[in-house]
Structure 1
Amino acid sequence: MARFLHLSDVHLGFDRYENAERTKDFFFAFQDALQKYAIAESVDFVLIAGDLFEHRQILPATLNQAQIGLELLQRANIPVLAIEGNHDNLPYGTKTSWLRYLAENELLILLEPNGEQAYDRWTPETRCGGYIDLPCDVRVIGSRWYGASAPKAIAQLAESIQQLPTPPTYQIMLFHHGLEGQIARYSGALKYEDLQPLKDVGVDYLALGHIHKQYTAEGWIFNPGSTEANSIAEGQDQNPRGVYLVTLEDGEINAELKRDYYQRPIVRLKLKVNKQQTQEKVEEAAVEKVSKEIDKTRGAIVELRIEGQLGFNRLDINVRQLRQKLHQKSQALIFLLKYDVTGTEYESPFPKGGEPPKREEIEQQVFEDLLSANTNYQHQAEPLAKGLRVLKQQVLDSEHPSVLYRFVAELLTEQDSKN
């Protein structure tokens, strides 16, 4: 029997939202998952299927986070087998990477084929190689990040695997790439038939990374998703992610997705608005929505999406100011406001029919339609429209601007007094 922990897409050094606490979340998730499901479970080894880091070039604090986590495993005598992903792979034109640095310092075993896509056995003397046979009757095979050339690379790798010495009972391969059909709008994903050659040459467990949600395929392809959510969308329960605690026994694979470790809570809220609401009512509704969810939003990453049709110009709301107010009210670590609304630009207050209207009736109707589209004026649409008709005629008569301004002021004052 063999037991191991399969994780991927740790993304240490994540720096979106420019929030130091958010960056720490990725380290805490990594550290807690290792303690709970590698050390406490006494696994034989740990797999990292790419993207240990968010960037190819990292800050000292990020390197320190990786070392702390890996040293926990080193003290527990649990080897770590890793490959590079698209975020942390060897930069073009360079001879080393930060994963290579960690490998040379004996904190992990970096498995990668040679320049001919062939496999040399990993040795502790060179700290290099493409595959390793472990005492728990498991062979682990590495790979690189291949991008669009992955299908061609797989065919070459499959041929190289076939040339290796007779394997132990189980063969595991690390591969950082996505399978099609798992997430929308993802170009470049592999078809199942692209991966089939690996199955044909004896790969029992294909340990994938790259896509940040959990999925499995045909009982031999496994992707745990990211250890921590990289975006609001990844926090949804319908897109679960975590780490796999895997047992290999009697020819069977039992992979359990584990999610009960440190993760920053994510809360997504939605507010539907309508054109009967004034600007003040919409803002009050947003505050009330957030206030009702304070037990969930405190310390979380929160998104409020405001949707619907407004009865005033959508620009009348100062979105930045409202977001700051809601952020403070929610006590969230990060607050995102999605203002996805449309304004009402034209609306008839009542239907018209019968004889063709006269010119003055058309003018009245047009002004009323425009005024009725704005919540602040719809109840005064008829008298204000009459005033606008008078104002139009004064303009045509070349009245002095002071006369025009005085007329507008008197018109608005008169309507305010009636309300």
Structure 2
Amino acid sequence: MDSTVTAIIIDSGSSQMKIGLGGEDAPRSAQPNVVGRTRHPGVNPTILGNALDNFCGDDAVANEGLLQLNPPVQRGLIVDWDAMEASLHYSFLSSLRVCCDEHPLCMTESPDCPRMDREKLTQMLFEVFNVPALCISNSSVVGLYSTGRTTGLVVDSGAGKTHIGPVWEGYSYQHYLQRVDFAGDDVTAELVKTLRRDGYPFSTPADFRNAEAIKKELCYLATNAEKELAYCKESRSIERLYALPDGQEIYMNENRFMLPEMLFSPGALQCPIPTQGWHTLLFSPGALQCPIPTQGWHTLIQQSIDQCELSVRPEMYSNIVLIGGNTLFPRLDERMQKEMSLLSPKGVVAKCVAFPNRQYGSWVGASILASMSTFPCMWVSKSEYDDYGASIIHRKC
């Protein structure tokens, strides 16, 4: 494999499939990571403008009324391999429009991805897509690279999962990793619950996307939730109206900051926290079950750092890095820095790092990795796969 050929970069998350080329600053495409099949056997896909058996990404969402939608990834892990294959086909051919057998591939994975899943993905990419070379990289580690760091405590929170763990000189301390199956989709699902309780008839996937837009537009973290709540009762300055596409207006007040408050105080709203992602609840009745979080991010960060060697801890406190779409709430970095300053040992300065566009942090970090001169040493070539099988991926990546 020619080491000068640009690599394809893929970050496949619970919500989006992000794809582009190595060395670039952002993915060329970030589409919904969902695959749809027609609900009714008699419906010809060509009627909907699609000659393929599967509808993927924006095409699937646009025709969701006629489709059964299935997400390939839930809670950061691949749960539908056929859907994953279809989503990758769509990404290569429709989103990026490249021949995947002509470019090395760098793909991110969840920090707690099972070994068997890595091998199955490796087998699929070499045998189905015929990639010439493959590197599978830890999403938290490469996310840290996107900030120019190789050491730090990474909070990686997207749509379906949150991982909190230390990375030292590019090596993830897996034994100290904290996983929470509560992330962006769950905050949005909680917003849907509160809106329905307030009388708004939110019940469809389109309603969920509207709630997602409301969350992104209006929600924020308070540096002190109790003071913000007291201020909210005395003043109407934080009240907002959000106009939906159909003209309906949604009223938001204290929920603007109380919903994200769940990241630090899981019982903030005194409501049961959903144990499944929105895609899971809508489209996959036999979905993954997950424990209800009982501790906030700041507590989990402290627990993770406390397991590290004493000499490493100060550097972890001073390099707390936020990546993933669920870390985009305004003032989240300020709140995190405040909480960690209260928890850090005397004489240790806590610092939270939150770069713009951090929802693409893992993709950007993988792009940086693939543009390094040492990248060919990290990949598994097709000939190595043929000689050693899928297990070779554990030795080189």
- For the aligned pair, the TM-score class normalised by the smaller chain equals under 0.3
Structure number with higher relative contact order (C-alpha < 8 Å, ≥ 6 residues apart)? 2
